[in-house]
Amino acid sequence: MDRALEPELRRELAERLRYYRDLGIHDFYRRGSRPRSMEIEPAAETVSASSEKLLFSVEPQEDMGARKSGVMPVVADGGIFEVVSPKPEQGVADHASALKVIREDLGDCRRCKLHQQGRKQIVFGVGNPQAELMFVGEGPGADEDAQGEPFVGRAGQLLNNMIKAMGLRREDVYIANIVKCRPPGNRTPERDECETCSPFLMRQISVIKPKVIVALGAVAAKNLLAINAPMSELRGRWYDFKPAVSDPSWPGARLAVTYHPAFLLRDPRQKGEAWKDLQMVMKYLGIQPPKKSAE
Ligand code: URA
Protein backbone atom coordinates (compact mmCIF):
# COMPACT_ATOMS: atom_id res chain seq x y z
CA MET A 1 0.00 0.00 0.00
CA ASP A 2 1.15 3.49 -0.80
CA ARG A 3 2.85 4.97 2.25
CA ALA A 4 1.71 8.44 1.24
CA LEU A 5 -1.98 7.57 1.62
CA GLU A 6 -3.94 9.72 4.02
CA PRO A 7 -4.78 7.87 7.27
CA GLU A 8 -8.52 8.23 6.60
CA LEU A 9 -8.13 6.77 3.10
CA ARG A 10 -5.98 3.93 4.45
CA ARG A 11 -8.68 3.17 7.01
CA GLU A 12 -11.42 3.17 4.37
CA LEU A 13 -9.38 0.94 2.08
CA ALA A 14 -8.68 -1.49 4.90
CA GLU A 15 -12.40 -1.60 5.72
CA ARG A 16 -13.28 -2.22 2.14
CA LEU A 17 -10.72 -4.99 1.76
CA ARG A 18 -12.04 -6.62 4.92
CA TYR A 19 -15.54 -6.46 3.51
CA TYR A 20 -14.48 -8.12 0.25
CA ARG A 21 -12.59 -10.79 2.19
CA ASP A 22 -15.78 -11.48 4.16
CA LEU A 23 -17.42 -12.10 0.82
CA GLY A 24 -14.68 -14.57 -0.04
CA ILE A 25 -12.99 -12.26 -2.54
CA HIS A 26 -9.23 -12.19 -2.13
CA ASP A 27 -7.65 -11.15 -5.43
CA PHE A 28 -7.11 -7.46 -5.96
CA TYR A 29 -5.19 -5.70 -8.66
CA ARG A 30 -4.07 -2.16 -8.45
CA ARG A 31 -5.26 0.17 -11.16
CA GLY A 32 -2.85 2.35 -13.08
CA SER A 33 -2.09 5.66 -11.45
CA ARG A 34 -4.48 7.53 -13.73
CA PRO A 35 -8.02 6.42 -14.46
CA ARG A 36 -9.00 5.59 -18.00
CA SER A 37 -10.01 8.71 -19.85
CA MET A 38 -12.81 9.16 -22.25
CA GLU A 39 -13.98 11.56 -24.83
CA ILE A 40 -17.07 13.49 -23.95
CA GLU A 41 -18.80 14.00 -27.21
CA PRO A 42 -20.36 17.30 -27.98
CA ALA A 43 -23.94 16.12 -27.62
CA ALA A 44 -26.56 16.64 -30.27
CA GLU A 45 -27.13 20.34 -30.65
CA THR A 46 -30.15 19.73 -32.77
CA VAL A 47 -32.25 18.09 -30.08
CA SER A 48 -35.54 19.82 -29.83
CA ALA A 49 -37.42 20.01 -26.61
CA SER A 50 -40.68 21.00 -28.16
CA SER A 51 -41.75 17.89 -30.01
CA GLU A 52 -43.16 15.76 -27.22
CA LYS A 53 -46.08 16.54 -25.03
CA LEU A 54 -47.69 13.17 -24.31
CA LEU A 55 -48.00 12.00 -20.74
CA PHE A 56 -44.59 13.31 -19.80
CA SER A 57 -46.13 16.77 -20.34
CA VAL A 58 -43.03 18.56 -21.49
CA GLU A 59 -43.29 22.26 -21.92
CA PRO A 60 -41.54 23.70 -24.99
CA GLN A 61 -38.04 24.92 -24.21
CA GLU A 62 -35.32 26.72 -26.07
CA ASP A 63 -32.68 24.73 -27.91
CA MET A 64 -29.80 23.46 -25.80
CA GLY A 65 -27.19 25.47 -27.61
CA ALA A 66 -23.53 24.53 -27.43
CA ARG A 67 -22.94 21.49 -25.27
CA LYS A 68 -20.05 20.70 -23.02
CA SER A 69 -17.05 18.89 -24.34
CA GLY A 70 -13.72 17.79 -22.94
CA VAL A 71 -12.14 14.75 -21.35
CA MET A 72 -13.38 13.29 -18.10
CA PRO A 73 -12.15 10.38 -16.03
CA VAL A 74 -14.29 7.28 -15.68
CA VAL A 75 -14.18 5.15 -12.55
CA ALA A 76 -16.81 2.51 -13.15
CA ASP A 77 -16.71 0.87 -9.73
CA GLY A 78 -16.20 3.96 -7.64
CA GLY A 79 -13.17 2.51 -5.93
CA ILE A 80 -9.42 2.40 -6.12
CA PHE A 81 -9.19 -1.37 -6.34
CA GLU A 82 -10.79 -3.51 -8.98
CA VAL A 83 -12.06 -6.86 -7.84
CA VAL A 84 -11.39 -9.42 -10.51
CA SER A 85 -12.48 -12.63 -8.82
CA PRO A 86 -14.82 -14.75 -10.93
CA LYS A 87 -18.50 -14.25 -10.18
CA PRO A 88 -20.96 -17.16 -9.95
CA GLU A 89 -23.06 -15.76 -12.80
CA GLN A 90 -20.12 -15.70 -15.20
CA GLY A 91 -20.60 -18.43 -17.75
CA VAL A 92 -24.39 -18.33 -17.35
CA ALA A 93 -25.33 -17.35 -20.87
CA ASP A 94 -28.98 -16.57 -20.32
CA HIS A 95 -29.34 -13.08 -18.88
CA ALA A 96 -32.44 -13.83 -16.81
CA SER A 97 -30.79 -16.87 -15.20
CA ALA A 98 -27.60 -14.90 -14.53
CA LEU A 99 -29.62 -12.18 -12.78
CA LYS A 100 -31.27 -14.89 -10.66
CA VAL A 101 -27.82 -16.12 -9.62
CA ILE A 102 -26.93 -12.59 -8.47
CA ARG A 103 -30.24 -12.31 -6.60
CA GLU A 104 -29.56 -15.62 -4.86
CA ASP A 105 -26.05 -14.49 -3.98
CA LEU A 106 -27.52 -11.34 -2.43
CA GLY A 107 -29.78 -13.53 -0.28
CA ASP A 108 -31.40 -11.88 2.72
CA CYS A 109 -28.63 -9.29 2.60
CA ARG A 110 -27.34 -8.00 5.94
CA ARG A 111 -24.10 -6.57 4.63
CA CYS A 112 -24.89 -2.98 5.61
CA LYS A 113 -26.85 -1.30 8.38
CA LEU A 114 -29.92 -0.71 6.20
CA HIS A 115 -31.09 -4.26 6.91
CA GLN A 116 -31.78 -3.30 10.51
CA GLN A 117 -33.24 0.13 9.86
CA GLY A 118 -36.77 -0.83 8.92
CA ARG A 119 -36.51 -2.17 5.39
CA LYS A 120 -39.30 -4.63 4.58
CA GLN A 121 -37.58 -6.28 1.65
CA ILE A 122 -34.75 -6.04 -0.82
CA VAL A 123 -35.64 -4.23 -4.05
CA PHE A 124 -33.42 -5.94 -6.57
CA GLY A 125 -34.38 -4.47 -9.94
CA VAL A 126 -36.98 -5.05 -12.61
CA GLY A 127 -37.33 -5.20 -16.36
CA ASN A 128 -35.89 -6.70 -19.48
CA PRO A 129 -32.72 -8.69 -18.66
CA GLN A 130 -31.48 -7.82 -22.17
CA ALA A 131 -32.49 -4.18 -22.09
CA GLU A 132 -30.60 -1.72 -24.25
CA LEU A 133 -31.57 1.01 -21.82
CA MET A 134 -31.19 0.92 -18.06
CA PHE A 135 -32.29 3.50 -15.49
CA VAL A 136 -30.55 3.72 -12.13
CA GLY A 137 -32.13 5.62 -9.25
CA GLU A 138 -31.06 6.29 -5.70
CA GLY A 139 -32.84 3.82 -3.46
CA PRO A 140 -36.28 2.43 -2.72
CA GLY A 141 -38.90 4.59 -1.04
CA ALA A 142 -41.89 3.42 1.00
CA ASP A 143 -43.91 2.16 -2.00
CA GLU A 144 -40.94 0.31 -3.46
CA ASP A 145 -40.12 -1.21 -0.07
CA ALA A 146 -43.72 -2.41 0.26
CA GLN A 147 -43.95 -3.82 -3.28
CA GLY A 148 -40.38 -5.03 -3.79
CA GLU A 149 -40.07 -3.21 -7.12
CA PRO A 150 -38.18 -0.02 -7.98
CA PHE A 151 -40.01 3.13 -9.02
CA VAL A 152 -43.61 2.15 -8.34
CA GLY A 153 -44.66 5.25 -6.36
CA ARG A 154 -45.33 8.75 -7.68
CA ALA A 155 -41.79 9.18 -8.94
CA GLY A 156 -42.22 5.81 -10.65
CA GLN A 157 -45.34 6.98 -12.41
CA LEU A 158 -43.43 9.94 -13.78
CA LEU A 159 -40.57 7.65 -14.82
CA ASN A 160 -43.13 5.47 -16.62
CA ASN A 161 -44.37 8.56 -18.45
CA MET A 162 -40.83 9.51 -19.39
CA ILE A 163 -40.23 5.99 -20.75
CA LYS A 164 -43.51 6.13 -22.67
CA ALA A 165 -42.66 9.54 -24.11
CA MET A 166 -39.50 7.95 -25.47
CA GLY A 167 -41.64 5.43 -27.35
CA LEU A 168 -40.74 2.56 -25.01
CA ARG A 169 -42.58 0.45 -22.46
CA ARG A 170 -41.46 -0.10 -18.88
CA GLU A 171 -40.96 -3.78 -19.72
CA ASP A 172 -38.44 -2.83 -22.44
CA VAL A 173 -35.97 -1.24 -20.02
CA TYR A 174 -34.30 -2.36 -16.82
CA ILE A 175 -34.69 -0.30 -13.64
CA ALA A 176 -32.52 -0.54 -10.52
CA ASN A 177 -31.15 1.60 -7.73
CA ILE A 178 -27.79 2.36 -6.17
CA VAL A 179 -28.98 0.76 -2.91
CA LYS A 180 -31.48 -2.06 -2.73
CA CYS A 181 -32.91 -1.35 0.71
CA ARG A 182 -34.99 1.62 1.77
CA PRO A 183 -33.00 4.14 3.81
CA PRO A 184 -35.02 5.15 6.88
CA GLY A 185 -37.23 8.19 6.31
CA ASN A 186 -36.09 8.19 2.67
CA ARG A 187 -32.79 9.79 3.65
CA THR A 188 -29.97 9.80 1.13
CA PRO A 189 -28.07 6.51 1.22
CA GLU A 190 -24.77 6.85 3.04
CA ARG A 191 -21.42 6.21 1.46
CA ASP A 192 -20.76 2.88 3.16
CA GLU A 193 -24.24 1.68 2.15
CA CYS A 194 -23.65 2.64 -1.49
CA GLU A 195 -20.23 1.04 -1.53
CA THR A 196 -21.55 -2.16 0.00
CA CYS A 197 -24.45 -2.43 -2.41
CA SER A 198 -22.90 -1.21 -5.65
CA PRO A 199 -20.90 -4.40 -6.44
CA PHE A 200 -24.27 -6.12 -6.93
CA LEU A 201 -25.50 -3.34 -9.22
CA MET A 202 -22.24 -3.62 -11.18
CA ARG A 203 -22.86 -7.33 -11.59
CA GLN A 204 -26.41 -6.65 -12.82
CA ILE A 205 -25.06 -4.15 -15.35
CA SER A 206 -22.39 -6.64 -16.46
CA VAL A 207 -25.07 -9.25 -17.12
CA ILE A 208 -27.56 -6.94 -18.86
CA LYS A 209 -24.89 -5.16 -20.94
CA PRO A 210 -27.09 -2.18 -21.77
CA LYS A 211 -26.14 0.22 -24.52
CA VAL A 212 -27.15 3.18 -22.37
CA ILE A 213 -27.48 3.78 -18.65
CA VAL A 214 -29.41 6.81 -17.46
CA ALA A 215 -28.46 7.92 -13.96
CA LEU A 216 -31.50 9.47 -12.31
CA GLY A 217 -30.35 12.31 -10.10
CA ALA A 218 -27.13 13.38 -8.49
CA VAL A 219 -26.84 10.51 -6.01
CA ALA A 220 -26.97 7.89 -8.78
CA ALA A 221 -24.65 9.90 -11.03
CA LYS A 222 -22.05 10.58 -8.35
CA ASN A 223 -22.00 6.98 -7.23
CA LEU A 224 -21.76 5.52 -10.71
CA LEU A 225 -19.18 7.98 -11.98
CA ALA A 226 -17.33 8.73 -8.75
CA ILE A 227 -17.49 12.38 -9.68
CA ASN A 228 -18.56 14.99 -7.20
CA ALA A 229 -20.11 17.71 -9.31
CA PRO A 230 -23.41 19.59 -9.45
CA MET A 231 -26.16 18.38 -11.76
CA SER A 232 -25.55 21.35 -14.05
CA GLU A 233 -22.12 19.91 -14.80
CA LEU A 234 -23.09 16.24 -14.80
CA ARG A 235 -25.95 16.54 -17.32
CA GLY A 236 -25.84 17.11 -21.05
CA ARG A 237 -22.90 14.89 -21.93
CA TRP A 238 -21.99 11.26 -22.42
CA TYR A 239 -19.77 9.18 -20.18
CA ASP A 240 -18.24 5.80 -20.97
CA PHE A 241 -19.16 3.22 -18.38
CA LYS A 242 -17.90 -0.32 -17.94
CA PRO A 243 -17.81 -2.25 -14.68
CA ALA A 244 -14.35 -3.54 -13.89
CA VAL A 245 -15.52 -7.14 -14.03
CA SER A 246 -17.39 -7.56 -17.29
CA ASP A 247 -17.33 -9.40 -20.58
CA PRO A 248 -14.23 -8.24 -22.48
CA SER A 249 -16.17 -8.45 -25.75
CA TRP A 250 -18.76 -5.94 -24.46
CA PRO A 251 -17.58 -2.40 -25.19
CA GLY A 252 -19.43 -1.02 -22.18
CA ALA A 253 -22.33 1.38 -21.95
CA ARG A 254 -22.74 5.06 -22.52
CA LEU A 255 -24.03 6.83 -19.47
CA ALA A 256 -26.16 9.97 -19.37
CA VAL A 257 -27.34 11.87 -16.32
CA THR A 258 -30.76 13.43 -15.91
CA TYR A 259 -32.93 14.77 -13.14
CA HIS A 260 -34.50 12.36 -10.67
CA PRO A 261 -38.27 12.06 -11.28
CA ALA A 262 -38.91 12.98 -7.62
CA PHE A 263 -37.07 16.25 -8.25
CA LEU A 264 -39.16 16.81 -11.40
CA LEU A 265 -42.32 16.34 -9.33
CA ARG A 266 -41.13 19.11 -7.03
CA ASP A 267 -39.94 21.35 -9.86
CA PRO A 268 -41.88 20.51 -13.05
CA ARG A 269 -40.25 23.43 -14.87
CA GLN A 270 -37.16 21.22 -15.26
CA LYS A 271 -39.06 18.59 -17.26
CA GLY A 272 -38.01 20.26 -20.50
CA GLU A 273 -34.36 19.86 -19.52
CA ALA A 274 -34.92 16.21 -18.65
CA TRP A 275 -36.60 15.70 -22.00
CA LYS A 276 -33.50 17.06 -23.73
CA ASP A 277 -31.42 14.46 -21.88
CA LEU A 278 -33.79 11.71 -22.97
CA GLN A 279 -33.74 12.94 -26.57
CA MET A 280 -29.96 12.64 -26.52
CA VAL A 281 -30.42 9.01 -25.41
CA MET A 282 -33.10 8.34 -28.04
CA LYS A 283 -30.93 9.74 -30.79
CA TYR A 284 -28.06 7.45 -29.82
CA LEU A 285 -30.36 4.42 -29.60
CA GLY A 286 -32.11 5.32 -32.86
CA ILE A 287 -35.50 5.60 -31.18
CA GLN A 288 -38.15 7.71 -32.86
CA PRO A 289 -40.61 9.33 -30.45
CA PRO A 290 -44.18 8.14 -31.02
CA LYS A 291 -46.15 10.23 -33.49
CA LYS A 292 -48.66 12.58 -31.97
CA SER A 293 -52.19 11.51 -32.77
CA ALA A 294 -53.99 13.89 -35.15
CA GLU A 295 -56.05 16.45 -33.25
N1 URA B 1 -36.64 6.82 -5.92
C2 URA B 1 -35.58 6.08 -6.27
O3 URA B 1 -34.47 6.60 -6.40
N4 URA B 1 -35.76 4.81 -6.52
C5 URA B 1 -36.94 4.21 -6.42
O6 URA B 1 -37.01 3.02 -6.67
C7 URA B 1 -38.04 4.99 -6.06
C8 URA B 1 -37.89 6.30 -5.80
Choice among 9-23, 153-167, 191-205 with the minimum mean pLDDT: 9-23
Average pLDDT, the chain: 82
Return the ∠ at Cα 223 (arms to 138 and 123), rounded to 5°. Answer: 35
Choose one of 124, 135, 143, 144 to mutate for the ligand 1 pocket test, by most ligand atoms within 8 angstroms of C-beta: 144
Of 119, 121, 122, 138, best ligand 1 pocket probe by most atoms within 8 Å of the beta carbon:
138
pLDDT above 70 coverage of the chain, percent:
71
Q: Rounded to 10 degrees, what is the CA torsion of 197, 193, 236, 151?
A: 70
Range of weakest confidence among 25-29, 97-101, 237-241: 25-29
Q: Which atom of ligand 1 is nearest to the CA of 219?
A: 3
Query: What's the confidence (pLDDT) of residue 293?
Result: 62
- Per-residue pLDDT at 17: 61
Instruction: Give the predicted TM-score (pTM) of the model.
Output: 0.78
Q: What pLDDT is attached to residue 276?
A: 98
Pocket of ligand 1 (CB under 6 A): 137-141, 144, 150-151, 155-156, 177, 262
Distance of alpha carbon 64 from alpha carbon 46, whole angstroms: 8
Question: What tens digit of pLDDT does each residue of 15-65 get?
Answer: 666 655 554 454 454 433 333 333 333 333 223 333 333 335 322 232 333
Q: Between vectors from CA 185 to CA 264 and to CA 109, what angle results, nearest 5°?
A: 105
User: Is 167 within 8 Å of 289 (Cβ atoms)?
Assistant: yes
Q: For residue 262, what are the β-bridge partners?
A: none
How buried is residue 104: exposed, middle or buried, by Cβ count under 10 Å (0-12/13-18/19+)?
A: exposed
CA of 136 to the centre of ligand 1 (A): 9
Query: Under DSSP, is residue 221 helix (H, G, I), strand (E, B) or coil?
Result: helix
Instruction: Calculate how far, in angstroms, residue 69's C-alpha sits from the geometric centre of ligand 1.
Output: 30
Amino acid, single-letter form, for residue 282: M
Torsion of CA 238, 243, 249, 255, to 10 degrees: -20
- Contact between 164 and 174 under an 8 Å Cβ cutoff? The reply is no
Q: If you measure from the C-alpha of residue 162 to the centroid of ligand 1, how many angstroms do you get, rounded to a whole number?
A: 14
Percent of the chain with pLDDT over 90: 68
| Residue 22 to residues 15, 18, 77, 106, Cα–Cα distance (Å) | 11, 6, 19, 13
Residue with the bigger pLDDT between 73 and 176: it is 176
* Ligand 1 pocket test, candidate residues 152, 177, 193, most atoms within 8 A of CB: 177
Q: How far is the CA of 144 from the centre of ligand 1 (A)?
A: 7
